[in-house]
Structure 1
Amino acid sequence: MDEATVQLLCPECTKDWQVSPGALPDAAEMYHCPNCHASRHTSEFMRTDRDLRALKQLG
């Protein structure tokens, strides 16, 4: 079975990537872009509402 992933998009440098929801902090916690190191709430990196729902359910 494939592991679920969420799509992320950095609001500052526009880097996009995928990661397992379990590898991310909670939606309201701070997360750092691996490319430009921008710091924002994890929820702000979610590309779509579906990704945010998956983070909240599976994270």
Structure 2
Amino acid sequence: MDETSIQLLCPECTKDWQRSPAELPESTELFHCPNCHASRLTSEFARTDRDLRTLKQLG
């Protein structure tokens, strides 16, 4: 079975990567970019609308 992953994109440094929903805080909690350490709501790192929906459903 394939594990679901969420594509992330930092709005400040444009680093992109992916993580499983279980590794991320809730969409309304703060998340920190591992590259530039920008702090924003986790939802702001979702790369696409689909990733945002997945984060909200599974997170």
TM-score normalised by structure 1 residue count: 0.97
CA distance in 2, matches of 1:55, 1:46: 8
Q: CA RMSD in A?
A: 0.5
1:29 alignment partner in structure 2? 29
User: Equivalent residue of 1:26, what SS?
Assistant: coil
CA distance in 2, matches of 1:54, 1:18: 13
CA distance in 1, matches of 2:57, 2:36: 27
Q: Structure 1 vs Structure 2: percent identity of aligned residues? A: 76
2:2 alignment partner in structure 1? 2
Q: CA deviation at 1:2?
A: 1.1
How many residues align? The count is 59
CA distance in 2, matches of 1:10, 1:21: 16
Instruction: Say whether residues 1:45 and 2:45 are aligned partners.
Output: yes
Unaligned runs of 5+ in 1: none
TM-score normalised by structure 2 residue count: 0.97
